[in-house]
Every structure is written in C-alpha cells, then in structure tokens.
Amino acid sequence: MTTLDSRNGRRLTARGEKTRARIVAAAADLMNVQGVGATTLDDVLLASGVSKSQLYHHFAGKDALVRAVIDHVGGRVIERERDALGHVSTIPGLRRWRDALVQNNALRHGAYGCSLGSLASEVSDQDDAARRAVSQLFTEWQGLLAGVLRRLQDGGTLPPEASIDQLATGLMGALQGGYMLAQTARDVTPMATSIDMALAHIESLLLIEPTPDQATHGAVILARDSVRAHQSPSASGS
C-alpha cells in the first residue's frame, strides 16, 4: 500500500516514510549539536546510513531538509510542552514545568541551548520561509503558556486585568534568553534565574496569597525563589 505524501503529492510507501524519518531525525540531532551551517549533507548521510540519492529523493536540497528539521523539532517541542503545560492551572504546576526544563538543561550544562531557539537564531536571517516556520512554532508554544495563565485567570488566581499575552511573551523571552545565557556560560544558573524572575513577576500579580511555603506576596528578592522548595539540584548548575 502507498500513502500520499502530503508535501509533494508523490506516493510514499511505508519504507520510504521510514527512511525519510531517519534522515530528518539524524539531521535534527546533528544540527542541534553542531548548528545548521556546520552540518554537511555527508554528515547526515553518514549518521543516518542512507545514500545521497535517497536524500535527494526525499528533499529538494539542504534548505528543504532544514525546513523538515524545523517541523520535526518543532513538533517534538510542542508535543512535549503540550504534555507539560496542557493541564497546568496552578502556580506550583508552573513551577514544576520550570523545574523540569531547568533540570533537563542542567544535564548538558546548558550546552546546545533550546533546540528551537538555536535553529531560530541561525536560520532567521538566512531563509525567510524557515524563519516564518520557527516564528509560527514560537507563537504556538507561547500559546500554551498563555493557556496556563488564562486558566489561572479564570480560576481567580490572576486578576482579570492582567494581560495574558504580554505575560506569556515575557515568560517566553525570559526562557529563551535564559537558554542562551546558559549555553554561553555552560551553566544553567542564568537560565534558572531568568525564568524565576519572570515567574516572580507573575506571582507578584496574584490575587490570592500563595500557600505558606510558596512565594511571599511582594517579596523583595529573587534569591528565595532559587533555593527553595521542590528545588532540584539542577539549579546549582552541576
């Protein structure tokens, strides 16, 4: 049986689809650790154990492959974030999301940064179609954050006047900036601190006082946020 390839109308067998997926997965990994520019097609062929003709059978060229990698990586990130954020409707839930990201990044000492963010900054000024794709994914990701905030608002935790979209943008900015600083410093700490500042801001808007072991409303320093509670060792950067 053959299915129809959505992107170019060519017929695709199960085997072909598997090969295609193998190529994209290998390329995604390589581009994540080496960067897009530093990843050659030969690298991809070697890593995926596929011949050159197959690559060109499935992709028009490197640009098309990069486009596919963006979709693939983006899909994974969105799926992961949907799982992590889709049903969060409390501040502690948001903090657990933060902890997971920080801990995960700590495993690599910040290396490689955000899989989507790295692609974004390398591709944005080179390939406009790719840039738009990444931008769209960021928007979707940010929408998931906005969803959490909206649930907080609907539940009466955040005041109705709070601008959900702007808070989500700020949180996203802090997250991406944190990834970048951590990548450059090879240390998660700045990432943790950046996100914590955004979360502290959001918490400062809360209508309902948090539970005792949580943030004190109007607290003055950030330090508290970085050494407290269900804190994983990750924040210490090791």
Partner DNA sequence: ACACCAATGGACCATATGGTCCCTTTATTC
Partner DNA sequence: GAATAAAGGGACCATATGGTCCATTGGTGT
Enumerate binding residues for DNA (CB under 7 A). Answer: 1-2, 10-19, 39-42, 50-54, 56-58, 61-63
**188 and 182 in contact (C-beta within 8 Å)?**
yes
Residue type, 209: E
Nearer to DNA, 65 or 101 (CB): 65
**Could you count the other beta carbons within 10 Å of the beta carbon of residue 180?**
19
Quote the CA–CA distance of 31 and 40 in Å, as a whole number.
Answer: 9
DSSP structural state of residue 6? T
**28 and 43 in contact (C-beta within 8 Å)?**
no
**197 and 222 in contact (C-beta within 8 Å)?**
yes
Which positions from 153 to 192 touch a second copy by CB under 8 A, shown as an x/- string?
A: ------x-xxx--xx-xxxxxxxxxxxxx-xxxx--xxx-
- Residue 68 CB, nearest distance to DNA (Å)? 13
Helices 91-107 and 128-154: angle between axes, nearest 10 degrees? 140
- Residue 58 CB, nearest distance to DNA (Å)? 7
Give the footprint of a second copy on residues 3-62 (CB under 8 A): 33-38
Give the footprint of a second copy on residues 105-124 (CB under 8 A): 111-113, 117-118, 120-122, 124
Element (H, E) at 58: helix 52-58
Q: Which residue has the tokens 């197959």?
A: 54
Partner in contact with 216, chosen from DNA, a second copy, none, beta carbon below 5 to 8 Å by kind: none
Element (H, E) at 157: none
Quote the CA–CA distance of 81 and 49 in Å, as a whole number.
Answer: 31
Partner in contact with 17, chosen from a second copy, DNA, none, beta carbon below 5 to 8 Å by kind: DNA
- Residue 56 CB, nearest distance to DNA (Å)? 4
| Cβ neighbourhood burial of 29 (10 Å; 0-12, 13-18, 19+) | middle
Q: Which of 68, 97, 196, 215 binds a second copy (CB under 8 A)?
A: 196
Is residue 85 within the footprint of a second copy (CB under 8 A)? no
**Number of chain positions touching a second copy (CB under 8 A):** 62
Partner in contact with 16, chosen from DNA, a second copy, none, beta carbon below 5 to 8 Å by kind: DNA
- Residue 37 CB, nearest distance to DNA (Å)? 8
The residue ranges that bind a second copy (CB under 8 A) are: 33-38, 111-113, 117-118, 120-122, 124-126, 131, 134-135, 138, 159, 161-163, 166-167, 169-181, 183-186, 189-191, 193-194, 196-198, 200-201, 204-205, 218, 220-223, 226
